[in-house]
Structure 1
Amino acid sequence: MTLILNTWIFESDVKSGTKQADLVDRVAKLGADGIEVRREYFTDLDSELPEVAKRAKTNNLVVNLSVPDVVFEDDGSLNPKLDEYFKEGQILGLKKIKFNTGHFDRFTGDLKKDFARFPLDEIEMNVENDQTAVSGKVSTIKTFLTAANSAGLTSLGYVYDMGNWGFTHGDAEQAAKELAAFTHYIHLKNVINNNGELTTSDDLDRGMFDWRALLKLLPSDQYYALEYPMATDAQISSQIKLFKDEVGA
């Protein structure tokens, strides 16, 4: 079991000017195995990417990258920025990079040929269910990954984001069952439904999802990430302990 802390956890610090590189040591002290940095949180890629990589190596931490962009554009073409994102990933020394699927339904190219230029043997590529009507559906993710596997791109995987199924009004349990075979990474956050108003919880045990039951439907030997804002390091430590006590880490 590998536990990652997504830097959304430190949202208030980032908004106050804390760089993600400065969070690396903090993540290590909290006892996590890695950090998932968010591309939208970087303000100076040239200086921050190598600094994150340096500090992660010093602390022996895994580095993953969340990119808030699609693989396939509205017309079905491959996103031209993907090459840039993978180059950034190489600087970071990534294990995994995460995107949203986008309009694979309009793709007319050759997956194996078109994806050959990406360093997939070095950086594992995953797609996540986001909070959009296009990329936040089981059918979109399953269709793309089934086609990718058929094309020999077997390293491509899926990030099961538990909380996002709440925001898209999807069936988190059915999604877990249908996408378990593709799941390489699990993002954990719960969602509070207050008379139809949905908000992200700061406690795995408070919200609409039975996260323990959902985890039983998913592979147990993959990466996990906590991904929800928390106010203090004490609270983060408490949530880490809650998770580790459950999975037996």
Structure 2
Amino acid sequence: MTLILNTWIFEADVQNGAKQEDLVDRVAALGADGIEVRREYFKDLESELPEVAKRATEHNLIVNYSVPDVLFEDNGSLNPKLGDYFKEGQILGLEKIKFNIGHFDKFTGDLKTAFSNLPLNEIQLNVENDQTQVSGTVVAIKTFLDAAHKAGLTGLGYVYDLGNWAFTGGDAVAAAKELAPYTHYIHLKNTTVDNGKLGTPDDLDTGIFDWRDLINILPSDQSYALEYPMDSDEKISNQIQLFKNEVGA
């Protein structure tokens, strides 16, 4: 079992000026196996990317990368920024990089050719169910990954994001069963509903989802990430222990 901490956990600290390079040290102290850095949290890519990589190497931590962008633009063309994102990933020494799919429904080219210039043999590319109908449904995800694997891009995978199914009205259990064969990474967070308003709690056991049932459906040999804001390292440690108690780590 590999447990990653997504830096959304430290949202309040980031808003108060904390850099992700400093969060690497905290993640290591908390006993996680790796850190998932968020591109939108970087203020100076040129200086911060190598520093994150340096500190992660010192602590022997895995680095994953969450990029808030799409693979396919509104007209169906491949996002021209993908090459730059992968170069950033190479600086970070990534294991995995994550995107949203975007408008694959409008793509008309050859997938293998389209992705041929990306270092997919170095960095694993995954897509996530986001909070949109374009990229966040089982049909959209499976259609893209079926096509990618048929084209020979068998390394492309899927990030199962539990909390996001509430935002698209999807069935989290049915999605887990349907997408389990493609799942390379699992983002855990719960969702609350208050007078019709959805929120993200700071506790896996609070909310509408039974995360224990879900992880029993999904592959047990893939990485997990906790991805929800928490206000103290004590709280984070408690949530790590809650998770580890369940998976027997």
The interval holding the TM-score normalised by the smaller chain is over 0.9
Unpaired segments ≥5 residues, structure 2: none
Distance, in Å, in 1 between the alignment partners of 2:168 and 2:241 is 29
Distance, in Å, in 2 between the alignment partners of 1:43 and 1:164 is 26
- Which residue type is aligned with residue 69 of structure 1? D
Distance, in Å, in 1 between the alignment partners of 2:16 and 2:195 is 32
Q: Paired residue for 1:183?
A: 183
Q: Paired residue for 2:26?
A: 26
Q: Paired residue for 2:113?
A: 113
Q: Paired residue for 2:38?
A: 38
Distance, in Å, in 2 between the alignment partners of 1:169 and 1:141 is 15
Q: Paired residue for 2:77?
A: 77
Q: Paired residue for 2:161?
A: 161
Give the TM-score, by structure 1 length. 0.99
Give 1:114 shift: 1.2
Q: Paired residue for 2:239?
A: 239
Distance, in Å, in 2 between the alignment partners of 1:130 and 1:199 is 15
Q: Paired residue for 1:7?
A: 7
Distance, in Å, in 2 between the alignment partners of 1:180 and 1:141 is 12
Q: Paired residue for 2:221?
A: 221
The aligned runs of 1:43-192 (5 Å cut-off) are: 43-192=43-192
Give 1:195 shift: 2.3
Distance, in Å, in 1 between the alignment partners of 2:143 and 2:197 is 31
Give 1:169 shift: 1.4
Report Cα offsets for 1:212-239 as digits up to 9, x if no partner: 0011110000010000000000000000
Q: What root-mean-square deviation, in Å, do the aligned CA atoms of Structure 1 and Structure 2 show?
A: 0.5
Q: Secondary structure, in 3 states, of the residue corresponding to 2:217? A: coil
Distance, in Å, in 1 between the alignment partners of 2:168 and 2:230 is 23
Distance, in Å, in 2 between the alignment partners of 1:102 and 1:139 is 13
Aligned pairs, how many?
249
Q: Secondary structure, in 3 states, of the residue corresponding to 2:239? A: helix
- Which residue type is aligned with residue 243 of structure 1? F
Distance, in Å, in 2 between the alignment partners of 1:135 and 1:191 is 19
Q: Paired residue for 2:197?
A: 197
Q: Percent identity?
A: 74
Distance, in Å, in 2 between the alignment partners of 1:244 and 1:121 is 31
Q: Secondary structure, in 3 states, of the residue corresponding to 1:71? A: strand
Report Cα offsets for 1:97-128 as digits up to 9, x if no partner: 00000011110111111111100000000000
- Which residue type is aligned with residue 228 of structure 1? Y
Give the TM-score, by structure 2 length. 0.99
Moved over 3 A (4+): none
Q: Secondary structure, in 3 states, of the residue corresponding to 1:216? A: helix
Unpaired segments ≥5 residues, structure 1: none
Give 1:197 shift: 1.0
Give 1:133 shift: 1.7
Q: Secondary structure, in 3 states, of the residue corresponding to 1:184? A: strand
- Which residue type is aligned with residue 188 of structure 2? L
- Which residue type is aligned with residue 148 of structure 2? A
Q: Secondary structure, in 3 states, of the residue corresponding to 1:18? A: coil
- Which residue type is aligned with residue 2 of structure 1? T
Q: Secondary structure, in 3 states, of the residue corresponding to 1:241? A: helix
